[in-house]
Structure 1
Amino acid sequence: MKIFWLNIFITLFVSCLSAPAPLGDQDWWKHGVFYQIYPRSFKDSNNDGNGDLLGILEKLDHFADAGVTGVWLSPIMQSPQVDAGYDISDYYTIDPMYGSMDDLKKIIAKAHNLGIRVILDFVPNHTSNQHEWFKASENGTEEYKDFYVWVDGSPDKPPNNWNSVFKNSAWTWSDKRQQWYLRQFLEVQPDLNFRNPKVREALKNVLIFYMDMGIDGFRVDAVPYLVEDKLLRDEPRSNDPTQEPNDHDYLDHIYTMNTDETYDVVYEFRDIVENYTKEHGGDARILMSEAYAPLDKTMRYYGTANGSRLGAHFTFNFFFVGPNLNTSNAYTFESLVYEWIDNLPSIYVSNWDMGNHDNRRVTTRFGKEDVDGFNMLLHLLPGIGITYYGEEIGQEDGEVTYEQGQDPAARNRSTFEQTSRDFERTPFQWDNSTNAGFNEGNKTWLPVSEKYKETNLADEISTPGLSHYKIYKEILRKRQEDPARIGDTKIWSLSEDVLILKRSLEKTHIVVAFKLGWQNHTAPEYAFVPEIKCDTATVALTNVNSTHQIG
């Protein structure tokens, strides 16, 4: 009898071990709002001039108040900070500037208690040249010898004509190894070799490490550059007359960007997070991919058209990131919306993004009078909405001199105003106290904008009337209503400066009537009403300073 019961126990125990973990919500992200935090500029908890993780922890209630679904942290892993943390020297350590791994765990715990997901920036294309992998590779250590892209050649002539994103050759000579290494960004950012299975395994382990900690997903940086042409063929001229021979876009990047093998890597990353969720249960872990690429190539990062292979849960839609009102009008935005929707296979989810750490702020590009309208447009279109820190209060670009600048891509004084990304990275404006409440008064890594006394979160919360922040909160509430969540979409222009968006579910509609800019227009007022075909309509929300009355 003892043996009989022992066999039953062993059978039950093995059965329990092999039972699949219960899955949670796999669709939570499909209508979410993701908020990009630039950690160094968000909140400085220790008054050293740099934002940090404990500062983010202190301000997590802000996202719960706003109605944000998830926060995405720009790079916080250990780095020499030559390229704002996109030069990682240790994937498994938090940069001391930001705090510690325990601080990150506190953020995850509190965010989850508030119903907020946490997304990390993941940089797989390259590391810092201070990473132990690169040091070992440059020294010829066998295990790491092929971790990076090394090529034989003469020290006075690069292997081919490939150019770096930051100008000049994409190759750097190593005296120590007597070979060239590929670096499609800065010299201190050597490209990893994705043809080496050990590299893929090492990066897979990084993802698993953070998912084990409770991270809900990853924004995958610079994915078009992951795998280059094995034959190292010269790239053809782009024939762009504005580009000089040392400029990145002087060439047509048919051998260094968006290669078929690159898509295979992204699909493999998706398999990793999908398998992790299947094995460990819980809600979906997700991937967002950054790919400034032609539309047809961008769509492939979602996966194959029929879904037989899946890539990122969504790849960023940058259609709205470039335009400004000097070169765009209502017809432009109508066209951009339909171009994206019409080209995205129906099995995938749209996303809408207007700003990030690499581009001038929405309010600066479009004007303060239009920031509410663009927030309504972005967050009431179908799918996922993305907010760059400060967009919820209408924060504008800051004022940064060449001497104060930190961007390694803008070290030419004559072109600083045009090329620097520092302007959109200045500290968040919390209140009208010293340094906008970012810290207690110590010199900040980038200067606080002089506009903080007229634009800051505390004033926008306390103002008796409407403010950009109050409108933003109401938009995020409105987007949870069924017409905005699952309704049909139609967008059209009445004129160059009047744009109408309609979301409809049966006989219920949410309509945005958006007048771009302050100029007078000739379109008949309420000319959109016959198109709506409803018996009654109520003004649910207006922009700041509107003459229309809510209700």
Structure 2
Amino acid sequence: MELAALLTLLLFTIGQGDCASAATKKDWWQYAQFYQIYPRSFMDSDGDGIGDLNGITSKLEYLKDLGVTAAWLSPIFTSPMVDFGYDISDFFDIQPEYGTLEDFRALIKRAKELDLKIILDFVPNHSSNESIWFKKSVNRERGYEDYYVWHDGKVNATTGEREPPTNWLQYFRGSAWEWNEVRQQYYLHQFAVQQPDLNYRNPAVVEQMKRVLRYWLKEGVSGFRCDALPPLFEVLPDAEGQYPDEVVSGATEDSEDRNYLTVKYIENQPETIDMVYQWRTVLDDYQRIYGGNSSVLLIETYAPAWFTMQFYGNRTREGAHLPFNFNLITVMEEKGLSAGHVKEAIDLWLNNMPAGRTPNWVLGNHDKRRAASRYGKEYIDAMNMLVMILPGVSVTYQGEELGMTDGEISWEDTVDPWGCNSNPSIYEQYTRDPERTPFQWTSGTNAGFTNGSTTWLPLAADYKTVNVESELAAEESHLKIYKELMALRKSSKTLQNGSTKYWVIGDDLFVVLRTYGDEDKYLLAINFGSKEETVYLPDLADRSLFRLIIKSLGSELTLGVWYGDLHVQPAEALVLTDVLHIYPNP
């Protein structure tokens, strides 16, 4: 069988790795498995129905057993909880319902004992309107007058009434400007009204936020995930102090939705890139002065590739270690799940990534529907295999290892401000509550998340079957497959350092081949179609047979069997190797 007859898309190869390149030692983050914890929903230790730091500490051994390198915690800082921690009133202390600073230090201590790293969420774009900084700015106290983005607004020539400076819209629906009676000015808030935007054109703000980074580095964290970078800067006003209006985008007819307008003036400004470079310098300087392992900087940016790739750095300056790659989310949301679209998502990153940088792969997070719900439950093993077999770093959102699905949240139970700012007829388009339901530890009361009587959000309906306890006890489960993938990734020089080729074969079979000199070869095959697909393995690599070592749940193929012709069923995903041994299950 000719390989050319099977290929429907071009082959792409990256990282011509071989054993000679092994002399270049990679840093810990370059092959790490990051695991996102949404603290409010991970584990409750005190029975109030809300997850907390002591709950996380009690489950660190679970993360260690999974094979996690670093746990990223969504915000744990003091907050009124309008946006559940992303509205921070004190960047230097812990939210009381999550615990205390001593609880955090105990978490760090235990994590170090287990050789786990802790990454904190850094929320630089805004604070809470209950922050002392904002209160001082409202009162124009010395040094805080321009801590936030303030504007007089403009007077309507017809009505004589004062109006917002521009037509800009916030993420959570409606105007991005709010009038403050005390100061008699509008302030900018690209998120909720209670989240005023900090003014990064003020050097005092820049230095204050660097102080935040240094404070938590001193407390022992191993880096930061930087939230919501696109709106960090807005365009400069004109000579008369006026900002330009955005134009109608044509993307939606809903004039309250942010997508109703373009975001040319309020997102992805060049100053944002430079600010990330400055934060990287803070981290590097801290290591240079105090020693220890390097700290990692991860960047959230849903931005075009031309902008996102600049975050990596340039010829003279280092930037983020890892700008998050959301292509496996965004491309599929726009076009649907298929082998061709998976290849398109991978191409979009690898074809644009600067040389010598590390790719990363993200399936979900606290802002997106859970992976099993978006891709389909039958594809959760396939997608976990994909991000583990591809080169670089994987990022797992809590529950993806179990195949957790979204909860069903009624309008009455909705608490997310994005949903609450809408109405009962459309809230499901906006609310992020379904992907934030409590983690499912057991099939018992409240899924083992709390010994209290209630949970802050209702549990997902499938918790009695999709949970850690049940999946560990089962002969086969999503969790066991995930652990096998983690163990393989951590032990394989090929997966850590090797070259990558990938194809679409036939109508909808996606294949990845990893090689590294004379080391083991690994092949991943996923059928994203509705009918059986066949691949002749000797056409793909200089081997006549490959041995099946990991398979998706429900596959009827036999582990340990050698294959030349591989017949892959719909939604089936398979990992094979060309060597005799099979890595033991963890």
Specify which structure has the bigger relative contact order, considering alpha-carbon pairs within 8 angstroms and separated by 6 or more residues.
2
Question: Normalised by the size of structure 2, how large is the TM-score?
Answer: 0.87
Residue pairs, 1:3-22, within 5 angstroms = none
CA separation in 1, counterparts of 2:455 and 2:264? Answer: 42
CA apart distance, 1:29: 0.2
Match of 1:436 in 2: 447
Two-structure CA RMSD over aligned residues (Å): 1.6
Number of residue-to-residue matches in the alignment:
521
Q: Which runs of 4+ in 1 moved over 4 A?
A: none
Match of 2:417 in 1: 408
CA apart distance, 1:413: 0.8
CA apart distance, 1:365: 1.2
CA deviations on 1:145-181 (whole Å, 9 max, x unpaired) are 1111111235731112221112222111111001111
Match of 2:297 in 1: 287
Aligned letter for 1:345? P
CA apart distance, 1:547: 0.9
CA separation in 2, counterparts of 1:223 and 1:57? Answer: 29
1:468 and 2:478 are equivalent in the alignment: yes
1:187 and 2:193 are equivalent in the alignment: yes
Match of 1:31 in 2: 31
Which sits farther off after the overlay, 37-46 or 195-204?
A: 195-204
1:259–1:325 Cα change, 3 Å: closer
CA apart distance, 1:325: 10
CA apart distance, 1:84: 1.2
CA separation in 2, counterparts of 1:72 and 1:121? Answer: 7
Residue pairs, 1:259-408, within 5 angstroms = 259-304=269-314, 306=315, 308-322=316-330, 323=332, 327-408=336-417
Contact 1:325 1:365 in 2 (8 A): no
| Secondary structure, counterpart of 1:331 in structure 2 | helix
CA apart distance, 1:387: 0.1
Match of 2:525 in 1: 513
CA apart distance, 1:238: 4.7
Match of 1:504 in 2: 515
| Unaligned ranges ≥5, structure 1 | 1-24
| Secondary structure, counterpart of 2:247 in structure 1 | coil
Match of 1:197 in 2: 203
- Pairing partner for 1:228 from 220, 229, 234: 234
CA deviations on 1:327-355 (whole Å, 9 max, x unpaired) are 23101101211221010001211000010
| Unaligned ranges ≥5, structure 2 | 1-24, 155-160, 561-586
| Secondary structure, counterpart of 1:423 in structure 2 | helix
CA separation in 1, counterparts of 2:93 and 2:233? Answer: 26
Which sits farther off after the overlay, 384-393 or 361-370?
A: 361-370
CA apart distance, 1:223: 1.0
CA separation in 2, counterparts of 1:258 and 1:466? Answer: 45
Match of 2:43 in 1: 43
CA separation in 2, counterparts of 1:418 and 1:236? Answer: 23
CA apart distance, 1:326: 7.8
1:495 and 2:506 are equivalent in the alignment: yes
Contact 1:398 1:426 in 2 (8 A): yes
| Secondary structure, counterpart of 1:491 in structure 2 | strand
CA separation in 1, counterparts of 2:253 and 2:75? Answer: 31
1:165–1:431 Cα change, 3 Å: same
- Pairing partner for 1:214 from 217, 220, 241: 220
Aligned letter for 2:528? L
CA separation in 1, counterparts of 2:108 and 2:78? Answer: 19
1:115 and 2:115 are equivalent in the alignment: yes
| Secondary structure, counterpart of 2:297 in structure 1 | strand
Match of 2:435 in 1: 424
| Secondary structure, counterpart of 1:372 in structure 2 | helix
Question: Normalised by the size of structure 1, how large is the TM-score?
Answer: 0.92
CA separation in 2, counterparts of 1:488 and 1:243? Answer: 46
Contact 2:170 2:176 in 1 (8 A): yes
| Secondary structure, counterpart of 1:343 in structure 2 | coil
Aligned-residue identity in percent: 42
CA separation in 2, counterparts of 1:445 and 1:455? Answer: 20
1:136–1:149 Cα change, 3 Å: same
| Secondary structure, counterpart of 2:504 in structure 1 | strand
Match of 1:6 in 2: none
Match of 1:130 in 2: 130
